[in-house]
């Protein structure tokens, strides 16, 4: 293609050469300077127009939001803002945009407003940066696993199994209801509306990943997952992407070591490959933090990311976590909304106290009570805790959930019964414990929570192009 991207243009700096670029006009100052952006990088490119050489009717169509193709000669820039610029020879309008009606004005818009125009927000500096970083993180994830002997596998989206046993599934149905069995009252049996079978959208690819790990050794999934929980929070989506590695012969400690090494690798990757975009978001966050009281401000973004890559994560058991919370001034002054005692599911306020107030570092919490974790986690010898591990990070809370899996057939079967799960529906899962079972472990990283952590965005709706939350699925 006989065109160059703005990112490459800045890299190569082909002074004296004739080039063509296309992009969206951010601003057109004094009928002379077009700030053009093509999405390849956060930086705009300055295109200098000699207005005497062009028709007024054409110049009028160069408005904020319009799409243009320009050809010209690259020169050193005399201005301060940029090293090079383009002396424009020809201008082609690819798409007009009515300046009065274009929702993105050259000023700062609130994130809430931009969420309402999710179809246009990729054209802003902030969202361009976020979505480019999202790409780099996804790429780093595949690179890490590929370098470390993992195989990328594809787990099904449509499935009958409820991997987490939490009942938070979206039902899948076919439109043609004629072939669906009827209930005793002669009504369509909606539990069987996937061609006569029950089916849901997957909540996790873990169980299938376990099957593959017990054949291929080390595998991972990276795909969309769905949770039909009606939670309207800044860290929950109904559709999110999850990365789930699963490793044969790994015990809990190996699992923790891998998760920590993996997170550090991908954050370092972003620091080197998305430095410009991170710098923009670092500045954005610093602006936002200014309006908060000094003692409530979080660490600057780049400092936080460097800290995380350079320091060991804290590792504590659930029981130790409960002790810390019970000793805390928050507990003593009754400032926690949910009272603390051994056995509770840690709430977001507890997690945030631990990572932000107590440790000020990522924390891995292990050995949770069996009753509050999924059926597949390996039971400890104490008979009441399981080999679970959650990784919590400042500003977000839980980012990773994982465990060593229960590989003993009898223990697993009694756990399944105890949790009231139908053992027939999991016959294939139980089979792997009957034939050549082995110790194995894995975890799930919520991709959007990772992107939130790396970009410093406080709302999960701002790190996925089209967030699915209760009632939000128009496009």
Query: Site residues (CB under 6 A) for ligand 4AD?
Result: 163-164, 204, 206, 227, 236-237, 240, 242, 244, 398-402, 442-444, 446, 448-449
**DSSP character for 435?**
S
For the bound state, the minimum distance from the C-beta of residue 448 to ligand 4AD, rounded and expressed in Å, comes to: 5
14 by DSSP, 3-state: which?
A: coil
Return the structure tokens found at 324: 């810390």
For the bound state, the minimum distance from the C-beta of residue 10 to Mg ion, rounded and expressed in Å, comes to: 42
For the bound state, the minimum distance from the C-beta of residue 429 to ligand 4AD, rounded and expressed in Å, comes to: 13
Give the residue closest to ligand 4AD by C-beta.
Answer: 446
Return the structure tokens found at 313: 């994560």
For the bound state, the minimum distance from the C-beta of residue 472 to Mg ion, rounded and expressed in Å, comes to: 23
- Which residue, 97 or 404, has its beta carbon nearer to ligand 4AD? 404
Which helix (H) or strand (E) is 387 found in, with range?
strand 385-393
Return the structure tokens found at 436: 């050549």
Q: What is the spatial distance between Cα 235 and Cα 247, in angstroms, rounded to a whole number?
A: 27
The mark string for 358-397 relative to Mg ion (x by CB under 5 A, - otherwise) is ----------------------------------------
- Which residue, 163 or 321, has its beta carbon nearer to ligand 4AD? 163
User: What HEC string does 452-467 produce?
Assistant: HHHHCCCCHHHCCCCC
- Which residue, 40 or 385, has its beta carbon nearer to ligand 4AD? 385
Judged by beta carbon distances under 5 to 8 A according to partner kind, the member of Mg ion, ligand 4AD, none in contact with residue 444 is: ligand 4AD
- Which residue, 276 or 398, has its beta carbon nearer to Mg ion? 398
- Which residue, 237 or 316, has its beta carbon nearer to ligand 4AD? 237
Q: What is the spatial distance between Cα 37 and Cα 47, in angstroms, rounded to a whole number?
A: 11
User: How does DSSP assign 296-358, residue by residue?
Assistant: GPPPPHHHHHHHHHHSPPEEEEHHHHHHHHHHSHHHHTT--SSPP-TTPPPPHHHHHIIIIII
Which helix (H) or strand (E) is 429 found in, with range?
helix 427-434
Nearest to 302 by CA among 322, 323, 287, 281: 281
Residue from the set 395, 401, 402, 446 that interacts with Mg ion by CB under 5 A: 401
Judged by beta carbon distances under 5 to 8 A according to partner kind, the member of Mg ion, ligand 4AD, none in contact with residue 446 is: ligand 4AD
Contacts of 185 (CB under 8 A, 6+ apart): none
- Which residue, 245 or 401, has its beta carbon nearer to Mg ion? 401
For the bound state, the minimum distance from the C-beta of residue 308 to ligand 4AD, rounded and expressed in Å, comes to: 16
Q: What is the spatial distance between Cα 156 and Cα 208, in angstroms, rounded to a whole number?
A: 8
Q: To 10 degrees, what angle do helices 447-455 and 252-273 make? A: 50
- Which residue, 40 or 161, has its beta carbon nearer to ligand 4AD? 161
Q: Which stretch binds Mg ion (CB under 5 A): 64-72, 74-82, 198-206, 398-406?
A: 398-406
For the bound state, the minimum distance from the C-beta of residue 401 to Mg ion, rounded and expressed in Å, comes to: 3
- Which residue, 23 or 395, has its beta carbon nearer to Mg ion? 395
For the bound state, the minimum distance from the C-beta of residue 345 to Mg ion, rounded and expressed in Å, comes to: 10
Give the residue closest to Mg ion by C-beta.
Answer: 401
Contact residues: Mg ion, CB under 5 A: 401
């Amino acid at each position: 293609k006989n065109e160059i991207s703005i990112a490459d243009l800045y890299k190569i700096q082909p002074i004296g050469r004739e080039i063509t670029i296309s992009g969206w006009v951010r601003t057109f100052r004094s009928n002379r300077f077009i700030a053009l952006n093509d999405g390849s990088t956060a930086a705009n490119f300055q295109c200098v127009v000699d207005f005497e050489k062009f028709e007024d009717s054409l110049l009028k169509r160069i408005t904020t939001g319009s799409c243009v193709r320009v050809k010209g000669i690259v020169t050193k820039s005399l201005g301060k803002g940029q090293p090079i610029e383009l002396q424009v020879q020809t201008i082609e309008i690819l798409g007009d945009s009515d300046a009065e009606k274009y929702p993105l004005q050259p000023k700062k818009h609130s994130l809430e407003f931009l969420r309402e125009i999710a179809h246009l927000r990729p054209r802003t500096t902030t969202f361009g940066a976020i979505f480019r970083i999202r790409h780099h993180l996804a790429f780093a994830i595949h690179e890490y696993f590929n370098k470390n002997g993992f195989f990328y596998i594809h787990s099904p989206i449509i499935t009958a199994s409820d991997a987490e046993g939490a009942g938070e599934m979206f039902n899948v149905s076919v439109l043609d209801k004629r072939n669906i069995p009827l209930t005793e009252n002669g009504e369509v049996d909606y539990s069987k509306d996937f061609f006569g079978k029950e089916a849901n959208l997957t909540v996790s690819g873990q169980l299938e990943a376990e099957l593959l790990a017990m054949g291929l050794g080390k595998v991972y999934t990276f795909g969309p997952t769905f949770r039909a929980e009606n939670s309207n929070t800044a860290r929950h989506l109904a559709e999110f992407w999850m990365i789930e590695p699963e490793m044969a012969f790994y015990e809990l400690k190996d699992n923790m070591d891998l998760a920590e090494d993996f997170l550090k690798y991908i954050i370092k990757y972003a620091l080197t490959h998305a430095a410009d975009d991170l710098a923009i978001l670092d500045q954005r966050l610093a602006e936002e933090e200014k309006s908060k009281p000094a003692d409530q401000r979080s660490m600057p973004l780049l400092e936080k990311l460097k800290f995380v890559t350079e320091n060991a994560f804290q590792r504590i058991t659930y029981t130790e976590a409960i002790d810390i919370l019970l000793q805390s001034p928050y507990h003593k002054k009754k400032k926690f909304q949910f009272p603390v005692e051994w056995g509770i599911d840690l709430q977001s306020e507890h997690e945030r106290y631990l990572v932000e107030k107590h440790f000020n570092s990522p924390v891995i919490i292990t050995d949770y009570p069996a009753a509050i974790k999924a059926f597949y986690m390996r039971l400890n010898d104490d008979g009441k805790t399981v080999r679970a591990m959650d990784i919590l990070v400042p500003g977000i809370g839980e980012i990773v959930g994982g465990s060593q899996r229960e590989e003993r057939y009898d223990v697993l079967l009694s756990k399944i019964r105890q949790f009231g799960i139908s053992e027939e529906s999991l016959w294939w899962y139980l089979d792997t414990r009957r034939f050549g079972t082995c110790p194995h472990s894995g975890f799930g990283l919520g991709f959007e929570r990772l992107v939130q952590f790396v970009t410093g965005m406080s709302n999960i709706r701002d790190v996925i192009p089209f967030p699915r939350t209760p009632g939000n699925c128009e496009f």
